[in-house]
């Protein structure tokens, strides 16, 4: 990672931690799920309002470290208004980049690529993925994988 990439990463994480997007509750969520990451103490709950195959609205609540909160905040921005297939594809690419299976250079991640720096810190990867795990759980497709290291129920 170059120092410019590192600076962007730090800046984006702090900015979203300071002012998380789509934070709070929906009045009438159609889907929801919680996720916990006991290794760090992160907890997030994701609420969705699906309109057919589209994420009409999304909110999240919870408490966690800067990386967890920033990543969940960016996740909500990335998937709001998109269809479920797009959200699932983003989640797969994001996870593949963080785990080193995919090169961030070529990954279709949009703004999320600024979180690629997390791959330098293996212990924080779970923090960055927690919101996405909760999202996948909420829409009922987590590929059979557990929603987190310790699953929470609403």
Is 42 among the residues that bind Zn ion (CB under 5 A)?
yes
**Positions in 8-37 near Zn ion (CB under 5 A):** none
Is 107 among the residues that bind Zn ion (CB under 5 A)?
no
Q: Secondary structure of 78-122 in the HEC alphabet?
A: HHCCCEHHHHHHHHHHHHHHHCCCCCCCCCCCHHHHHHHHHHHCH
Give yes or no for a contact between 151 and 62, defined as CB atoms under 8 angstroms apart.
no
Q: How far is the CB of 6 from Zn ion (least distance, A)?
A: 19
Give yes or no for a contact between 3 and 57, defined as CB atoms under 8 angstroms apart.
no
Is 98 among the residues that bind Zn ion (CB under 5 A)?
no
String of contacts with Zn ion for each residue 49-88, x by CB under 5 A = ----------------x--x--------------------
Site for Zn ion, rule CB under 5 A: 40, 42, 65, 68, 127
């Amino acid at each position: 990672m170059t120092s410019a990439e590192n600076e962007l990463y730090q800046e984006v994480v702090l900015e979203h931690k300071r002012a998380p997007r789509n934070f709070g509750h929906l009045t009438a969520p159609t889907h929801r799920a919680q996720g916990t990451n006991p290794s760090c103490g992160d907890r997030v709950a994701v609420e969705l309002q699906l309109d057919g195959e589209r994420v009409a609205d999304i909110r999240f609540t919870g408490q966690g470290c800067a990386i967890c909160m920033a990543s969940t905040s960016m996740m909500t921005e990335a998937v709001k208004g998109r269809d479920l297939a797009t959200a699932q594809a983003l989640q797969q690419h994001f996870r593949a980049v963080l785990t080193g299976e995919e090169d961030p250079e070529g990954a279709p991640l949009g703004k999320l690529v600024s979180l690629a720096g997390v791959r330098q810190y293996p212990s924080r990867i779970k923090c960055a993925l927690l919101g996405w795990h909760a999202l996948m759980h909420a829409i009922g497709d987590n590929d059979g994988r557990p929603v987190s290291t310790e699953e929470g129920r609403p």
